[in-house]
């Protein structure tokens, strides 16, 4: 089995296959934990459920939202934590028994039929890398928004992508903060995520045509911080098919990043677990590859309505007049509303899923969609 990509989704799948007896090869152009591309924050319970709590750097029970006309403190019904990317990736990897190699994935060359010793037909995939061609019966694309193994064009600024950039000045802050301020970005938001001895300050734009370096520098300056140690990435904000041409797509390659909030780490865990469970069924002889592709693809697709609702909100918020937005946020500050709204938001990919049994058959009425 070949897993292309060794970040949140790819490492989660490898972890899920531990002890299955599968020969799993994980490929990435960088060493595990080498290249951080996000603000690295997730619900604390997800980090605990994944066995990576030692990577936590700072935990928050309040989200502070700034607009030009108000400041609102949302006391969360669950906590959010920033973490160390390198340490988290290493802790995920330590829970697997896969093999890792560095290689750049170039493309999917072809699929073909092979025969098992038993005479059973099995389709194999040929993947081109900068170190040669690798053939495997089961292949996962966890390479990010480019969806490399799909072989189709998906390029900014025409693709449904948001643009994000952040800086990592040394220092300490106490609050998890968001800025919805058109002075920084017409459609999007700024953030300050403290992580122990550094602060992750950035700006994300829902419009990929809007460049975010200048507003990121401005936000850091306004927070009396240096604009140093840059990192950025494109962020998908539209769900895509999770299977195609015999390949499993997970994480950003399947658009598993929530619109509006751009939260993609817990969804990478969530869908990575679902994909890993289906692959394990194949390895253990309990399902065919075709069945696994169908079940996993259906599982991902059943979340489409939630992603669409959040995308509608992403498109709506920039259109709301700033003073009206401030009034709305103050109205949402009530504890009962915060508990209800953030509770529903967490259930899109709930941490209890990490401990749930394997998915039932797709025909079962109790199949979990948002645990």
Q: Which of 192, 322, 345, 145 is nearest to 263 (CA)?
A: 345
Report domain extents, the chain: 2-319+328-355
- pLDDT tens per residue across span 33-85: 998 888 899 999 999 999 999 999 999 999 999 999 999 999 999 999 999 99
Query: Could you give the CA distance from residue 13 to residue 241 in angstroms, rounded to a whole number?
Result: 18
Q: Which of 179, 194, 199 is nearest to 326 (CA)?
A: 179
Task: Output the pLDDT for position 15.
Answer: 97
Q: Is the sign of the CA dihedral 114, 273, 255, 229 positive or negative?
A: negative
Task: Output the pLDDT for position 159.
Answer: 87
pLDDT at 111 over 80: no
Strands 188-195 and 198-205: antiparallel
Task: Output the pLDDT for position 110.
Answer: 75
Question: What percentage of the chain carries pLDDT values higher than 70?
Answer: 93
- Which single residue is written with the structure tokens 């003073």? 323
Task: Output the pLDDT for position 37.
Answer: 85
Strands 231-236 and 161-167: antiparallel
DSSP of 262-326: ---HHHHHHHHHHHHHHHHHHHTTSS-HHHHHHHHHHHHHTTHHHHHHHHHHHHHGGGS-HHHHH
- pLDDT tens per residue across span 195-245: 999 999 999 999 999 999 999 999 999 999 999 999 999 999 999 999 999
Which residues, 6+ apart, have CB-to-CB distance to 364 below 8 Å? none
Q: CATH number for the 2-319+328-355 domain, one of 3.30.230.70, 3.20.20.370, 3.20.20.70, 3.50.50.60?
A: 3.50.50.60
E strand or H helix that includes residue 82: strand 70-83
Given pLDDT bands bounded at 50, 70 and 90, which one contains residue 368? very low
Q: Where are the alpha helices (DSSP H) in the chain?
A: 8-16, 44-49, 85-94, 213-222, 265-283, 289-301, 304-316, 322-332, 335-347
Task: Output the pLDDT for position 154.
Answer: 78
Task: Output the pLDDT for position 335.
Answer: 84
- pLDDT tens per residue across span 121-140: 567 899 999 999 999 999 99
Residue 32 backbone zone (phi > 0: left; psi -120 to 50: alpha; other: beta):
beta
Q: Give pTM, 2 decimals.
A: 0.92
Task: Output the pLDDT for position 123.
Answer: 79
Other beta carbons within 10 Å of 363: 6
């Amino acid at each position: 089995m070949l897993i292309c990509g060794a970040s949140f989704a790819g490492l989660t799948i490898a972890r899920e296959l531990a002890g299955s007896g599968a020969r799993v090869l994980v490929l990435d152009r960088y060493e595990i934990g080498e290249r951080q591309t996000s603000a690295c924050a997730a619900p604390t319970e997800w980090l605990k459920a994944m066995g990576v709590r030692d990577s936590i750097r700072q935990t928050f029970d309040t989200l502070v939202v700034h607009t030009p006309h108000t400041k609102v403190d949302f006391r969360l019904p669950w906590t959010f934590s920033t973490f160390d990317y390198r340490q988290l990736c290493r802790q995920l990897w330590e829970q697997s028994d896969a093999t890792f190699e560095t290689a750049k994935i170039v493309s999917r060359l072809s699929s073909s039929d092979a025969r098992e010793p038993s005479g059973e037909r099995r389709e194999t995939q040929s993947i081109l890398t900068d170190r040669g061609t690798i053939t495997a019966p089961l292949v996962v694309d966890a390479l990010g928004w480019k969806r490399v193994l799909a072989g189709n064009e998906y390029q900014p600024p025409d693709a449904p992508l948001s643009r994000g950039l952040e800086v990592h000045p040394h220092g300490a802050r106490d609050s998890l903060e968001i800025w919805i301020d058109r002075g920084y970005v017409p459609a999007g938001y700024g953030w300050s995520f403290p992580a122990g001895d550094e602060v992750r300050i950035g700006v994300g734009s829902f419009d990929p045509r809007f460049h975010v370096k200048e507003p990121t520098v401005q936000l850091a300056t306004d927070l009396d911080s240096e604009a140093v140690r840059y990192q950025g990435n494109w962020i998908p904000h539209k769900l895509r098919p999770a299977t195609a041409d015999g390949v499993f797509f997970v994480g950003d390659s399947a658009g598993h990043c929530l619109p509006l909030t751009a939260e993609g780490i817990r969804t990478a865990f969530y869908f990575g677990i679902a994909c890993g469970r289906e692959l394990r069924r194949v390895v253990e002889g309990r399902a065919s590859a075709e069945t696994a592709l169908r079940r996993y693809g259906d599982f991902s697709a059943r979340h489409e309505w939630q992603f669409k609702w959040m995308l509608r909100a992403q498109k709506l918020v920039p259109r709301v007049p700033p003073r009206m937005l401030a009034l709305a946020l103050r109205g949402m500050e009530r504890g009962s509303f915060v508990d209800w709204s953030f509770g529903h938001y967490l259930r899109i990919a709930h941490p209890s899923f990490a401990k749930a049994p394997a998915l039932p058959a797709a025909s079962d009425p109790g199949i979990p969609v948002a645990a």
